Structure 1
Amino acid sequence: MKHGRIAWQGAIHNVTAAPDGRVRLADGRLLDETRVTWLPPVEVGTVFALGLNYADHARELAFKPPEVPLVFLKGPNTVVGHRAVTCRPKDAAYMHYECELAVVIGKQGYQVPKERAYELVRGYTVANDYAIRDYLENYYRPNLRVKNRDGCTPLGPWLVDRDDIADPMALKLYTRINGKPTQEGTTADMIFDIPTLIAYLSSFMTLNPGDVILTGTPEGLANVEPGDVVETEIEGVGTLVNTLAGEAAFQ
């Protein structure tokens, strides 16, 4: 099942996906998905983001693929919902999207072996983890100005139950800018798969319900400008839509 969260008529609602593309409230009413305010599909806890977790992306950036997971944290201020507007800084020369499979933790776990890792997973959603290349000091440890800006990580629209995805390590990923395809890849090309990431993270800290793991992006990055509509899609999970705007829109 696909689960979501929206704001509508002054309240927050948990919704599910209707077959016709609309959203279904708990009482059965159906709403047009363009006429509600989308929230991230879960109330996020700790957000873990992977750097250089696709070999083709590492080559794209002329880096040697990492030998251990490269993980950094993102603050809750970064996360916004489907159809949100994200700010493009006026002094940025190169800002790019990153289509990523997001793994949502549903069960607490510490020192979880790989063979039991999926027991912790509640489900999956789509993330677009924007990066501002101008501010990057080190690809292995992105600084705060690159990856922790307000609203720079759209998430959603849906949380898809774990058991509804037969193999999360064999999903196609796509990005389109204003309808034009710019990125295509597959989760099969991850350097560190989902069980490895969960085992690694839980080896030194407790994972909790609501924690989210952003698993990295494949090659095919491109600059985005104010006014661009960016669609990040993952097979079987959903299509996340986001629009870029200049700083004046946020003042």
Structure 2
Amino acid sequence: MLRSRVVLPEGQVLQTVFASAAEPAGSLRWLPPVEGTVVGTLLNYRGELDALGDTLSAPPYQAPPKAPILYLKPANTHIGHGHDVAMPADVDGVWVGACLGVVIGCTATRVPAPHAADVIAGYMIVNDLTVPHASYYRPAIRHKCRDGFCPMGPWIVDCDDVPDADALDITVRINGEIKQRANTSTLVRPIAQLLADVTAFMTLEAGDVLLVGMPENPPLARAGDRIDIEIAHIGTLTTALVCPAQEGSR
């Protein structure tokens, strides 16, 4: 089952269920499928962690992480499928963060890994847009929390309709050209273990989203580019980057 939210031209929200992957025609505008907190995870793809090599054993880090490294994508970043993102004037390009989003279906506190499926409502695609930077030492608020830097959707796919969320192909296209391929099988912490580790110290509520991580070597996109992120069994999330003067929703 595919679940999403659209808004009519007058601003009235319509909660609906789509039976196919076709976009609604006309003037309907996609909203983020959820309204909860979006929690991101750093260094959760093996290739991303391996690429840093001995860097994580040197100052200021001192040692590789032993627990998930988390950050938030606040409400100002949240937009839906098909919306434009105005590039900040001080930013030349952004990393495309092709993330699988795990949508929480009920209050999740200290969830054992074997019971993770009990609290997962479904999955969606999230584009964790990020200003390129080198350091993981301080929270990257200026790099990850610009307006519109968390496109999500197009919908939520129920857990039962995703055969194995820990083995999903991810493809990123910029202007129609494939720029990245990844698979969730290379996660350092598979979804159930990541959810267990996070809920061991913080409660997630229904409608919250846990991002499993950004694959290594994220492609760079600039104003004028169209980004399509496809995740197997879920769909395709589309975002266009525009100059500030061109900002608007399609």
1:155 corresponds in structure 2 to 152
Deviations 1:76-130 (A, max 9, x none): 1111000011122232244111100000000112111111111110000000001
Q: 2:184 aligns with which of 175, 182, 187?
A: 187
1:123 corresponds in structure 2 to 122
Contact 2:92 2:222 in 1 (8 A): no
1:11-160 aligned within 5 A: 11-19=12-20, 21-22=21-22, 31-32=24-25, 35-43=27-35, 45-60=36-51, 64=56, 66-133=65-132, 136=133, 138-160=135-157
The separation in 1 between residues aligned to 2:17 and 2:130, in whole angstroms, is 30
The separation in 2 between residues aligned to 1:140 and 1:238, in whole angstroms, is 34
Identical aligned residues as a percent: 37
Judge which range, 198-207 or 176-185, deviates more. 198-207
Gaps of 5+ in 2: 57-63
Paired AA for residue 202 in structure 2: M
Q: What is the SS of the residue equivalent to 1:226?
A: coil
Contact 2:67 2:197 in 1 (8 A): no
The separation in 2 between residues aligned to 1:22 and 1:15, in whole angstroms, is 13
Contact 2:9 2:27 in 1 (8 A): no
1:171-182 aligned within 5 A: 171-182=168-179
TM-score, normalised to structure 1's length?
A: 0.88
Contact 2:84 2:247 in 1 (8 A): no
1:237 corresponds in structure 2 to 234
The CA deviation at 1:36 is: 1.8
Paired AA for residue 79 in structure 2: V
Q: How many residues of Structure 1 are paired with residues of Structure 2 in the alignment?
A: 239
2:214 corresponds in structure 1 to 217
Q: What is the SS of the residue equivalent to 2:67?
A: coil
Paired AA for residue 6 in structure 1: V
Paired AA for residue 43 in structure 2: L
Paired AA for residue 37 in structure 1: R
Q: What is the SS of the residue equivalent to 2:221?
A: coil
The separation in 2 between residues aligned to 1:197 and 1:140, in whole angstroms, is 21
1:8 corresponds in structure 2 to 8
2:61 corresponds in structure 1 to none
The separation in 1 between residues aligned to 2:77 and 2:189, in whole angstroms, is 24
The separation in 1 between residues aligned to 2:177 and 2:48, in whole angstroms, is 20
Root mean square deviation, CA, Å? 1.9
